[in-house]
Structure 1
Amino acid sequence: MRNITLIVIDSLGIGELPDADAYGDRGSNTLVNTAKAVGGLQIPNLQKLGLGNIVEISGAPPAEAPLASFGRMAEVSAGKDTTTGHWEISGLVLQKPFPAFPEGFPDFIIKEFETRTGRKTLGNEVASGTEIMARLGEQHIKTGRPIVYTSADSVFQIAAHEEIIPLDELYEMCRTARAILTGDYAVGRVIARPFIGKPGEFKRTSNRHDFSLEPVGTTILDMLKESGRAVQAVGKIEDIFAGRGITEAVHTTDNMDGVDKTLEFLGKSQEGLIFTNLVDFDSSYGHRNDPEGYARALEELDGRLPEIIDLISEEKLLIITADHGCDPTTESTDHSREYVPLLVYSPVGKKGTNLGVRQSFADIAATIAEVFGLQTSHGTSFLKEVL
């Protein structure tokens, strides 16, 4: 094996974890509930790989002879956010969740932010991004005050109209917040949420940017880069890892652009890792409680899978998974504490191996490490089970 392509379908959970109650997520099952809500999914390529062999999916029954090995993974780390999920996939397990602020951020944090940026703020509450943008957007335009908000996740989000606060200034404000939010207030991500339009017609743009904490330990990305291999990041992967352990990165406008960029890297066939995040499932549909949109996005991705599989030659491995759940059919608009799917394909690999329930997302990092003769601290490799 010379190359591994790892695709994270952001938020595609497949059922509540045993401790889901502690997170308020009983009954969450992003994939299964979405399929039920739309009367069945049309995802023949994911079905052929074995997605329906992991869990019962309306419209996608088990394949008689799956082309990939299949299973599901539990999250060991505390939390259910994007950063935690991706870090665990990369071999970094967190014992303590990132801090969340269900009552908004302390006054001294907001005052320090306002002092350093020179702008008063609006909001400072837990809210849906689209809702708070619609509610406070007009006041933001009149006053020039950025909208600060958070969610059940460990995030400090700043929404601003691109014609009121230019992108460069918005990004600098995020860097300022990132510098302030340390210690007990070290949120997982500071997120720029730019939008355009007029009141009643506000629309987010693709210029979102995440400012994550640097990983607090060594990841498989660090190891690969240090060993001279390529780590090619697609989508928000560069942001999630604060640029660390990455040799080349491209950002994307949507899921299909993410597929396009992944195909471009696959065509170059460098030794190492292609690490892709497809964020629209989470940001555009999961958080907005839109099962129909979520289903369309899955079917759209499914239609592109043959292009990806065609480029997975004998010396390559394809891994498809997720980082958490975000069930669009539940009352909550936040992430959900769920198992995630695991599909592993190689044209020379074993077909239809049931990988069972993996005890950590870090099994992916351990597998990548074994491929390249490296060693991780967490996870159990499944390489010998799939090749």
Structure 2
Amino acid sequence: MANKRMIILDLASLGMGEAPDANRFFSIGADTLGHIASKDLNVANLKSLGLGNIRWDNEIDTIAQEVAPRGFYGKMVNVISQNDASAGFREMFDYTTSLRTISVMDLMAEQKFNVAIISSFANYLEKQDEIHSVQVPNDSKAFVELSGQMDIQDSGLIYCQLPELKQFAHHKDVDGYTQQLSHVDKLLGKLMDNLREDDILIVTSSYASDPSYQRDVTREYLPIMVYNPQNTAGKSLGIKRSAGVIANVIAAYFDLDNHHEAKPNVIKEIL
């Protein structure tokens, strides 16, 4: 594909239940999705991608498994010793080449790929001048900017982290979080309708923050759902032992490091 394009939607704060090392981070019993799931939660598009299937071993009544999910679904855990939002983001995008560890976004910029970041934070990457960065105040604006960027950027990586969802988690507003995730799901449906046939969409979360829990950042499994409009016969991707799987997928998809030892390639399972 001459114009490979990948869109990453980061539902920052959405966790899937306590991680194996939750006790080290005072997160026993944390479960963002489980604690906000109620009759008021409507996430039909996330369900269609396999959100409920991720919880096959701990099902949520209101988020049932799909018999034929449209996305490839799984979960991942952080291995980094810090447990905060920025550490989760770094683990997700740091990539170890044969020579060094670098943000995969910087690596893409070095190799002249288009990279855009839509978020509420300032870009801390080395190649800031070569990466298009837009700061947004809320989730609706994030989707507007994402749609606009997709109209003008026909190749490369577009990363969008939603700012408003994580604010509800930070303020411990369970009802607000539930309503906002339902709103985000509707916007996700529109995004999926506007994808090109050869686009890769990854829906994930860089960290967890259970709004019903006393701590701001909770140590939980994190979702990963991958969707390509040409291949809607989704299946399980299993459990990935580091959030760095995202960087590995990006590097493999754009062939960024030919000399690096082969790593598990989620893309091969999808295309």
The question of a shared fold, defined as TM-score above 0.5 by the shorter chain, is answered with yes
Structure 1 245/324 Cα, relative in aligned 2: closer, same or farther at 3 Å? farther
Counterpart selection for 2:209 from 302, 326, 332: 326
RMSD: 2.1
Counterpart selection for 2:138 from 229, 249, 254: 254
Q: Distance in 1 between matches of 2:169 and 2:129?
A: 29
Structure 1 41/379 Cα, relative in aligned 2: closer, same or farther at 3 Å? farther
Q: Distance in 2 between matches of 1:12 and 1:242?
A: 28
- Given that 2:69 and 2:232 are in contact with CA atoms closer than 8 Å, whether structure 1 keeps it comes out as no
- Aligned-pair CA distance for 1:66: 0.6
Where do 1:261-272 residues align within 5 Å?
261-272=145-156
Residue of structure 1 equivalent to 2:42: 42
Where do 1:11-160 residues align within 5 Å?
11-35=13-37, 38-39=38-39, 41-55=41-55, 56-92=59-95
- Aligned-pair CA distance for 1:380: 3.3
Q: Which is greater in Rg?
A: 1
Q: Which moved more, 1:22-31 or 1:39-48?
A: 39-48
- Aligned-pair CA distance for 1:370: 1.0
Structure 1 250/378 Cα, relative in aligned 2: closer, same or farther at 3 Å? farther
Structure 1 43/247 Cα, relative in aligned 2: closer, same or farther at 3 Å? same
- The C-alpha deviation readout for 1:14-48, integer Å capped at 9, x for no partner, is 1111111111100001111111xx44521111111
Q: Which runs of 5+ in 1 are unaligned?
A: 94-215
Residue of structure 1 equivalent to 2:218: 336
Counterpart selection for 1:308 from 179, 191, 199: 191
- Given that 1:366 and 1:381 are in contact with CA atoms closer than 8 Å, whether structure 2 keeps it comes out as yes
- Aligned-pair CA distance for 1:245: 7.7
Aligned partner of 1:6: which letter? I
- Aligned-pair CA distance for 1:290: 0.8
Q: Which runs of 5+ in 2 are unaligned?
A: none
- The C-alpha deviation readout for 1:200-226, integer Å capped at 9, x for no partner, is xxxxxxxxxxxxxxxx94111011111
- Given that 1:361 and 1:379 are in contact with CA atoms closer than 8 Å, whether structure 2 keeps it comes out as no
Residue of structure 2 equivalent to 1:102: none
- Aligned-pair CA distance for 1:76: 1.5
Structure 1 245/379 Cα, relative in aligned 2: closer, same or farther at 3 Å? farther
- Aligned-pair CA distance for 1:311: 2.1
Residue of structure 2 equivalent to 1:180: none
Residue 163 of structure 2 is aligned to residue 279 of structure 1: yes
Residue of structure 1 equivalent to 2:104: 220
- Aligned-pair CA distance for 1:89: 1.2
Where do 1:184-223 residues align within 5 Å?
217-223=101-107
- TM-score of the pair, normalised by structure 2: 0.89
Aligned partner of 2:253: which letter? V
Structure 1 378/84 Cα, relative in aligned 2: closer, same or farther at 3 Å? farther
Tell me which of the two structures has the higher relative contact order, counting C-alpha pairs closer than 8 angstroms and 6 or more residues apart: 2
Q: Distance in 1 between matches of 2:195 and 2:144?
A: 15
- TM-score of the pair, normalised by structure 1: 0.64
Residue 243 of structure 2 is aligned to residue 352 of structure 1: no
- Given that 2:13 and 2:169 are in contact with CA atoms closer than 8 Å, whether structure 1 keeps it comes out as yes
- The C-alpha deviation readout for 1:129-161, integer Å capped at 9, x for no partner, is xxxxxxxxxxxxxxxxxxxxxxxxxxxxxxxxx
- The C-alpha deviation readout for 1:157-197, integer Å capped at 9, x for no partner, is xxxxxxxxxxxxxxxxxxxxxxxxxxxxxxxxxxxxxxxxx
- Aligned-pair CA distance for 1:243: 6.3
SS at match of 1:341: strand
How many equivalent residue pairs? Answer: 261
Q: Distance in 1 between matches of 2:21 and 2:248?
A: 24
- Given that 1:17 and 1:338 are in contact with CA atoms closer than 8 Å, whether structure 2 keeps it comes out as yes
Structure 1 352/24 Cα, relative in aligned 2: closer, same or farther at 3 Å? same
